[in-house]
Amino acid sequence: MTFRIRTLNAISQAGLSRLSATTFDVGPDVVNPHAILVRSASLHGQPIPASLMAVARAGAGTNNIPVAEMSKRGIPVFNTPGSNANAVKELVVAGIFLAARNIVDAAAFAHRLEGDHETMEKLVEAGKKNYVGFELPGRTLGVIGLGAIGVEVANVAISLGMKVLGYDPAITVEHAWRLASNVERVISLDQLLRRSDIITLHIPLVDGTRGLIGDTQFRSMKNSAVLINFARGPIVDEPALIEALDSGQLRGYVCDFPTPLLNKRPRVVTLPHLGASTREAEENSALMAVDQLREYLTDGTIRNAVNFPNAQLARAAGVRRLALANANVPNMVARISTIVGEAGLNIADLLNTSRGELAYTLVDVNGEVTDALVQRLAAIDGVLSARVL
Ligand SMILES: NC(=O)c1ccc[n+]([C@@H]2O[C@H](COP(=O)([O-])OP(=O)(O)OC[C@H]3O[C@@H](n4cnc5c(N)ncnc54)[C@H](O)[C@@H]3O)[C@@H](O)[C@H]2O)c1
Ligand SMILES: O=C(O)CC[C@@H](O)C(=O)O
């Protein structure tokens, strides 16, 4: 079988080259795709092709994908955790320096200077007092979200001599192990906001984090705090942000998400969603996304889906594999096995695993699987998708 993969956005060739032309038809114009490979393009409001089996996001955030709709259709959505964390960390550190030393506004001032050498020197000496900054040692950085990026940012800030507070009620054990031992974990967002000179956001955009930083949160911040946002624009409530900037509550805002209201404002730096735009991060993300997608399409293996459990089953030579996404309800495995048995097939191996309301079942059988069998399995109440590999 040839799998058709539609690419949205520029996906690094390092990843695409791992899809052999004999098995995969890949490109932006592919019709009736079995899979979509995407970076930041939005799939919201787009029709979901009936042929679609999987979506792979080369990157961390999946807020551009209607994950709940995909789940209802039994379609896994993959992302690439950690693949671009170093790239984002480096730009966040740059953002902290940009804000602490007023670099963007100061450079714009210098750029506007006119006159001969002597005149410029006078203008420089008269004007530089407007751009006096502060140094980082002894200052407090508050990191909201201690995942792949937050942990890296927290650790580098410690090495710069900062005091670091971290807030993440759902930190994973793996990330906790990576966190420098002198990062202080705080148990409420409010505590972090009250104590930090610089606050940096490293959380996903979901319903619960949209507008998380609003009026109340700005009022909790120290006077002249700095906010860094390389997570997603809508996590910060924009009218509240503008008010906090105008009142001086916020000294500066550095973000990766330009908007009409933010652009050209003093003490605001907007970058064009550049966090993951390094050759290394683009390659890492594409490699992970492509490998995960290929393994799913050809073998039913699931690694790093945001809506399905991980699933891996070693496959003996010659067996046919049935892959079913189903509701996580009682008796599913029994119903699937009964239908497979009624088709006269022996089950060689079976894996059933679940995550929340969704389950995933791999059934390896000896013998040929007919279309009629796949259709019977797909018709079981609660089965969301069924295919044979
Ligand atoms: N600017 C860019 O180019 C760029 C690049 C990569 C990621 N991002 C954004 O950064 C986000 C984080 O990326 P990551 O790789 O660190 O993800 P991650 O999944 O490794 O970490 C996210 C962390 O946030 C925590 N969290 C969730 N809700 C929270 C809340 N309300 N308060 C505190 N903590 C909370 C989670 O427990 C998790 O530990 C992504 O979802 C994406 O939106 C942006
Ligand atoms: O693909 C990009 O350039 C951005 C990716 C980034 O926003 C992410 O969530 O990983």
The string of pLDDT tens digits covering residues 49-100 is: 999 999 999 999 999 999 999 999 999 999 999 999 999 999 999 999 999 9
- CATH architecture observed for domain 310-389: 2-Layer Sandwich (3.30)
CB count, 10 Å around CB of 96? 23
Q: Is 322 in the pocket of ligand 1 (CB under 6 A)?
A: no
In the chain, pLDDT over 90 holds for what percent of residues?
99
Which residue's CA is minimally distant from atom 1 of ligand 2?
39
Expressed in angstroms and rounded, the spacing between residue 109 Cα and the centre of ligand 1 is 35
pLDDT per position as a tens digit, 268-307: 999 999 999 999 999 999 999 999 999 999 999 999 999 9
Could you tell me if the CB of 84 is within 6 A of ligand 2?
A: yes
Evaluate: CB of 276 within 6 angstroms of ligand 2.
Answer: yes
pLDDT score of 386 more than 90: yes
Any ligand 1 atom below 6 A from CB of 231: yes
| Same topology between domain 1-83+276-308 and domain 310-389 | no
Q: Which of 39, 79, 257 is the pocket-test mutation for ligand 2 (most atoms within 8 Å of CB)?
A: 39
Q: Ligand 1 within 6 A of 154 CB?
A: no
Do 272 and 281 form a contact (C-beta atoms < 8 A)?
Answer: no
Tokens standing for residue 102: 């007023």
pLDDT for res 264: 87
Report CA 203 to chain centroid distance, whole Å.
Answer: 9
Nearest to 231 by CA among 179, 168, 292: 168
Distance 40 CA to ligand 2 centre (A): 6
CATH tag for 1-83+276-308 (out of 3.30.470.20, 3.90.1150.10, 3.40.50.720, 3.40.1640.10):
3.40.50.720
pLDDT tens for 160-188 read 999 999 999 999 999 999 999 999 999 99
Q: Which ligand is nearest to the CA of 11?
A: 2
User: Please, what's the b/e burial string for 109-129 (b: 16 or more CB within 10 A of its CB; e: otherwise)?
Assistant: beeeeeeeeeeeeebeeeeee
Tokens of 68: 């709940």
Q: How sure is the predictor about 244, in pLDDT bands with cuts at 50, 70 and 90?
A: very high
For residue 227 and ligand 1, the question of a CB distance below 6 A is answered with: no
Assess contact for 136 and 92: CB atoms under 8 A.
no
User: Which pLDDT band, with edges at 50, 70 and 90, does 118 fall under?
Assistant: very high
- Which ligand 1 atom sits closest to the C-alpha of 172? 39
Q: Select from 250, 200, 190 the least CA-distant residue to 220.
A: 190
* Cβ atoms < 10 Å from Cβ of 59: 25
| Domain edges within the chain | 1-83+276-308, 85-270, 310-389
Residue 372: predicted pLDDT: 97
Answer yes or no: is the C-beta of 168 below 6 A from any ligand 1 atom: yes
The answer to whether residues 39 and 63 touch, using CB atoms and an 8 Å cutoff, is no
Instruction: Identify the architecture of domain 85-270 in CATH.
Output: 3-Layer(aba) Sandwich (3.40)
SS (HEC) of the chain: CCEEEEECCCCCHHHHCCCCCCCEEEECCCCCCCEEEECCCCCCCCCCCCCCCEEEECCCCCCCCCHHHHHHCCCCEECCCCCCHHHHHHHHHHHHHHHHCCHHHHHHHHHHCCCCHHHHHHHHHHHHHHHCCCCCCCCEEEEECCCHHHHHHHHHHHHCCCEEEEECCCCCHHHHHHCCCCCEECCCHHHHHHHCCEEEECCCCCHHHCCCECHHHHHHCCCCEEEEECCCHHHECHHHHHHHHHHCCEEEEEECCCCCCCCCCCCEEECCCCCCCCHHHHHHHHHHHHHHHHHHHHHCCECCECCCCCECCCCCCCCEEEEEEEECCCCHHHHHHHHHHHCCCEEEEEEEEEECCEEEEEEEEECCCCHHHHHHHHCCCCEEEEEEC
Q: Is 278 in the pocket of ligand 2 (CB under 6 A)?
A: no
